[in-house]
Amino acid sequence: MTELSDGATQDPGAEAEPTGMAEPEAPVESEAMADSPSSTKTESVPSVGDTAPSVGDTAPSVGDTAPSVGDTAPSVGDTAPSIGDTASSVPPPAATPDGAKVITGDSGKIVGGLIGAVSVDEVVLKLDDGRPAVINRRNIDEAGSDPTTIFNVGDRAEGAILAREDPQQRVVLSRSWALKKQAWDKIVAAAEAHEPVSAKVTGVSKNGLVVDVGVRGFVPSSHLSLEPTTDLASFKDQTIQLKVLELDVAKERLVLSRRSLLLKEQRKAVHDLLTGLAVGEERQGTVASLVDYGAFVDLGGVTGLVHLSELSWKRVGHPKHALSVGDEVLVKILDVKVKKRRVSLSIRQLTEDPFAAVPVGEVVTGPVTRLVDFGAFVDVGGVEGLVHLSEMSEYRVSAPEEVVTPGEEIRVKVLSVDRKRRRIELSIRQAVSSEYG
C-alpha cells in the first residue's frame, strides 16, 4: 500500500487509468430514457482536494482530467415526439457532458428559416429568430432523399424541433416529422369540416387501394364506386378525391372512401333535377323497368313511375302489353315529391281522351271485349262501356252468354258517359228499339 498526501492508500497492484482519457460515448438516448428521473443527473469528476473514497475503493489518479467540452457526442434527440404530443409535453433527454444545450420548451414545435448551405448530408439554415439550425439527411423525408435534389441556398425550409441541439449548438430539425404532423393536422381539419381530401393512389391490393395524403391511407374496395368494381388496377397513380371514414392519429390509422363523395354528388344531382321538374311538364324518357303495377321511366338521372292506370286509356292487364324496357316515351309529370324523391308520370294524358269522343244518345257499333256476371263490356271508340244485364234484352236475362259472345260485333246505344268515374253505360235493348222505333 502507498499512502497518499490526504491519508488515503492505494493498492500497488491496481492498474491506474491513463491520464487525459476521454469518457466513452454514451448510447443514443430515446424519449423513454428522457422520461427517467435519473437520466437528468450528470456525474461530476472528483477534484484532487476531494475527500478520498473509503478504503478498498480505487482512487482516481491525481493526473486525471475531466472530459473535454469538444469531445464528440452521439446525436441524441433525433427521435421526434409522437404526432399526438404537443411541444410542451415532450420531455427533454438527459444532459450530456459535450456542452450541447438541451431544449426544454420548444421540442416538437415547427419552425422555419432561410437555407444557408446544402450538402448531400444536411441542410443548414438560419431560423426566423436568428438561431442556427440543421436538418440531417435522415430527417429530410421518410425516403432519406438527397437534400441537394430538394433544396437550394436561399430557399425556405421548415422542420420540427428535436429534443436537443447538436455539438455545434445548432437546433436540430426534422422535416419528415413536420410534414407528417402538418398532413395529419389537415386531415383532422378536413374530417371535422366534412370536406374531401386529395390523394394519390400509390398501391393496389385485393382489398382496396393504398393512397398518399401526406400520410398513408387505405380505401376499401367496397368504398371505391357506387357499383361493385373489380378493376382496381385502373386507379393506380391516379389522384382522386376522398372522404375520411376512420381516423386515429395516435395509431396513424386512416381509412377513406370515394363512394361517399359519389353518393353525395348523386343526391345533389337528383335534388337539382327534382326541383327543376314542374307539374304538367312534358319530358322525354326511357323505360328503365317494368313491374306489375306500372313502368319506371328514367328522365336522365331521376326515375318516375307511370302507374298501370296511366299507361293507356284502354284497359291494360300488365305493362309488358303496352311497353318494353328501353322504349323511348313521352310522359307528362303529374306530381313531384322532392323530399321523398318520387315522381308520378302519365303516358295516356298526352293522348286525346276517347271518352270525349263517345256520342251520348247515339247508336254505335263495337266488339264485345269480355263478359262478367252482371253484363258485358263493349269497345266503343277505344274505351269500354258496360251493357248491364237489364239492358241486354226486352226479356229477363240470367247470364250475358244468353245474348252475346266475346268478339261479336253488336250495336249499342250510349246512355251516359262519366269521365270522372271513367264509366260508360250502354244498352242493346234501347239500340234495337230506336232502330225499329
Which CATH number does the domain housing residue 418 bear?
A: 2.40.50.140
Distance CA 342, CA 335 (A): 8
Distance CA 127, CA 147 (A): 18
Could you tell me the residue range of the domain that residue 285 belongs to?
Answer: 276-350
Choose one of 297, 325, 350: the last residue of a domain. 350
Question: Are 344 and 362 part of one and the same domain?
Answer: no
In a domain, 152, yes or no: no
Question: Are 250 and 298 part of one and the same domain?
Answer: no
Q: Which segments of 208-285 does DSSP mark as H helices, in order?
A: 259-275
CA distances (Å), origin 323, targets 286, 304, 315, 329, 369:
11, 15, 14, 9, 21
Question: Are 374 and 337 part of one and the same domain?
Answer: no
Question: Are 306 and 340 part of one and the same domain?
Answer: yes
In a domain, 209, yes or no: yes
Residues 6+ apart with CB under 8 A from 367: 378, 379, 407, 408, 409, 410
Question: Are 289 and 359 part of one and the same domain?
Answer: no
In a domain, 157, yes or no: no
DSSP-derived secondary structure letter, 268: H
Question: Are 376 and 342 part of one and the same domain?
Answer: no
The string of DSSP letters for 172-204 reads EEEHHHHHHHHHHHHHHHHHHTT--EEEEEEEE
Tens digit of pLDDT at every position of the chain (437 positions): 434 334 433 443 333 333 333 333 333 333 333 333 333 333 333 343 344 444 344 444 434 444 443 343 334 344 444 444 443 333 344 333 344 444 445 778 889 999 999 999 999 999 999 999 999 998 898 777 889 989 999 999 989 888 777 788 899 999 988 988 889 999 999 999 999 999 999 999 888 999 999 899 999 999 998 888 888 888 999 999 999 999 998 898 999 999 999 999 988 988 999 999 999 999 999 999 999 999 999 998 899 999 999 998 877 889 999 999 999 999 999 999 998 889 999 999 998 888 888 999 999 999 999 999 999 999 998 889 999 999 999 899 999 999 999 999 999 999 999 988 889 999 999 998 876 65
In a domain, 189, yes or no: no
In a domain, 41, yes or no: no
Question: Are 365 and 384 part of one and the same domain?
Answer: yes
Question: Are 246 and 294 part of one and the same domain?
Answer: no
Choose one of 300, 324, 350: the last residue of a domain. 350
Residue 377's H or E segment, with its range, is: strand 375-379
In a domain, 369, yes or no: yes
In a domain, 385, yes or no: yes
* Phi, psi at 274, each rounded to 5°: -65, -45
Question: Are 230 and 280 part of one and the same domain?
Answer: no
Put simply, whether the predicted model's pTM sits higher than 0.85 gets the answer no
Distance CA 429, CA 362 (A): 13
Distance CA 386, CA 404 (A): 13
Distance CA 261, CA 325 (A): 30
Question: Are 358 and 421 part of one and the same domain?
Answer: yes
Give the total number of structural domains in the chain. 3
In a domain, 186, yes or no: no
Distance CA 255, CA 51 (A): 65
Choose one of 263, 290, 316: the last residue of a domain. 263
Question: Are 342 and 365 part of one and the same domain?
Answer: no
Provide the 3-class DSSP secondary structure of residue 214: coil
Question: Are 327 and 385 part of one and the same domain?
Answer: no
